[in-house]
Structure 1
Amino acid sequence: MNTVYLNGDYVPKSSAKISIFDRGLLFSDAVYEVISVINGRLIDMDRHISRLERSLGELSIDGFADWAAISENLVTENELREGLVYLQVSRGVMDERDYRWPAPETAPTIFAFAQNRVLVANPMADRGMTIITRPDLRWQRCDIKTTQLLYASLMKMEAVAAGVDDVWMTRDDMITEGTSQNAHIISEDGVLISHQLDRRILPGVTRIEMLAQAKSMELTVEERAFSIDEAKNAAEAFVSSSTLLIMPVVEIDGHKIGDGLPGDRTEKIRRNYIAAVQRA
């Protein structure tokens, strides 16, 4: 992927330059959004734009652009068939470093790029993810999709060191979400449990369509927190995100979920989700 968007221009990525005094660099004072691309089509664009604009509003960043046009142009310019488009907006450039942000008329920095990624035929869907749990030590506004992802990065590296695929984070023994995914389980009696939307988790765009597909399968849905023990004793577990779509989880902290294989209902939700977004 060679062409990126920066402040109104489409330029080669080698030519894209951002000031060292940009608040995104100095303070992670920025938000972002990531959109799946399947068969050359942006998935759930309207919902992603709504979430991006909400994140900007929560941080009082005055950033606006034609997000759909930028994303579509990046797909075209980079001949992207399957992968991701990232949109990122910082509060802009300061004259000098200061915790207080500059005047409202300061222009935001708007940056976007495309990335190849295998989404539909991801081999992890056949084997399932292995997960460990760790304390959720992030800030208290996890509902805002900011670029301050250091703790998530640390946890992903901890997963690598432990020889597993990712981490589910916990507060008071209750699972909040993965490092970059929403977490879900299906209980032995067939109830799909997903953490309620609040400040402890990101309101996942993929989660919206996932829940719709689960309900169409006549699964009962409970939106509430669930414990580590509930997850270990569940019949099935899985995550949802723009990067993984719907992905089964087969092991948590060394404990097999169900028979240790991707669950039938999770696999059906994944198939139905992919079919639904391709039709839309």
Structure 2
Amino acid sequence: MILLKNHNFIHRSEAKTDIEDRGYTFGDGVYEVIRIYNGAYFMLEYHLNRLQYSLNEVGINYDVESEDLETLLSELLNKNTIEDGAIYLQITRGIAPRKHPYPTNSQPELYAYPIPVSSPKKEQEQGVHLTLVEDLRWLRCDIKSLNLLYNVMVKQKAVDSGAYEALLYRSKDHITEGSSSNFFGIKNGKVLTHPANNYILNGITRIAVQKICKSQGIPFVEKVLSVDELAELDEAFIASTTAEVVPVTKIDDVVIGDGTVGEIAKKLQAGFLQLI
């Protein structure tokens, strides 16, 4: 495996992380996971735009365009000859003695490397169950930061309960998103999902779903759903870079629709395959 560290390509055996890297000591950094299909990046421009947004919001002095990151990622893809998978990429504030204020002289540290990812075919065909968990994360979920501890905790809670994913809520009147996915309800032919604000991450697959809805004439409505409204949905699904579009048939004890994968979810899955 070939990795990218800053502007250098190295073998995995050569990879080292300084113990004073602020990504390690503070989670002081941002990241992206970029899907690869048929030997090419999927929606790379959107990932790089979101990466730059996250960098700007946390004040890390790294410019994606001037660093020619797109070219570096293309070289990384070619050196690893990946046909189907993903690239994990993170940029930290850099290496500095452990003090809370931003260091004045540290240089951002870039790491990128391939990770194995494959489409969850069974779940896409049969649908999945979710479990509701209170959303106790910070209020800047629009930043794709390295601070994922609570996401990890609630994902494990889902696993322990036999669910595929945790569905988070701030209050009974405010469903947000999954621990590593965006959530969508379908009612009366309309796709309903949380507005892209600070309470959720605006997923790249969420953007893809919005594009597909537009192309197929399916209304896409940004709306905060309540816990009680879940029982009234005709269909539901989650979407993410690694899961793509996965229908939801049950949330805890609430059966969604008739408990089977719905027609609109199938249309969106087909549209996603066309997009890639």
Does structure 2 retain, via aligned residues, the 8 Å contact 1:82–1:117?
yes
Does structure 2 retain, via aligned residues, the 8 Å contact 1:80–1:116?
no
Does structure 1 retain, via aligned residues, the 8 Å contact 2:39–2:83?
yes
Which residue type is aligned with residue 99 of structure 2?
Answer: D
Distance 2:231 2:12 in 1: 44
Which residue type is aligned with residue 200 of structure 1?
Answer: Y
The CA deviation at 1:158 is 0.5
Counterpart for residue 73 of structure 1: 75
Q: How does 1:46-61 map to 2 (within 5 A)?
A: 46-61=45-60
Mapped pair 1:87 → 2:83: no
Counterpart for residue 179 of structure 2: 179
Which residue type is aligned with residue 195 of structure 2?
Answer: Q
Distance 1:12 1:38 in 2: 23
The CA deviation at 1:263 is 1.3
The CA deviation at 1:61 is 0.1
Counterpart for residue 109 of structure 2: 109
Does structure 1 retain, via aligned residues, the 8 Å contact 2:7–2:72?
no
Residues 173-223 of structure 1, C-alpha deviations (whole Å, 9 max, x = no match)? 221000111110101x11210101110001111111211211322222210
Distance 1:40 1:138 in 2: 35
> What is the TM-score of this pair, normalised by structure 1?
0.94
- Higher mean alpha-carbon deviation, 229-238 vs 15-24, is at 229-238
The CA deviation at 1:4 is 1.0
Q: Equivalent residue of 1:226, what SS?
A: coil
Distance 1:77 1:50 in 2: 24
Q: How does 1:193-208 map to 2 (within 5 A)?
A: 193-208=192-207
The CA deviation at 1:256 is 1.6
Q: Equivalent residue of 1:123, what SS?
A: helix
Which residue type is aligned with residue 143 of structure 1?
Answer: D
Does structure 2 retain, via aligned residues, the 8 Å contact 1:128–1:250?
yes
Distance 2:7 2:137 in 1: 33
Q: Equivalent residue of 1:118, what SS?
A: coil
The CA deviation at 1:91 is 0.2
Structure 1 portions without partners, runs of 5+: none
Residues 68-101 of structure 1, C-alpha deviations (whole Å, 9 max, x = no match)? 222222222222111111110000000x210012
The CA deviation at 1:241 is 1.2
Counterpart for residue 36 of structure 1: 35
Counterpart for residue 221 of structure 2: 222
Distance 1:197 1:22 in 2: 31
Q: Equivalent residue of 1:133, what SS?
A: strand
Distance 1:176 1:137 in 2: 11
Counterpart for residue 248 of structure 2: 249
The CA deviation at 1:114 is 1.0
Q: Equivalent residue of 2:121, what SS?
A: coil
Does structure 1 retain, via aligned residues, the 8 Å contact 2:91–2:109?
yes
Structure 2 portions without partners, runs of 5+: none
* Identity %, equivalent residues: 33
Q: Equivalent residue of 2:154, what SS?
A: helix
The CA deviation at 1:30 is 0.3
Distance 1:74 1:181 in 2: 26
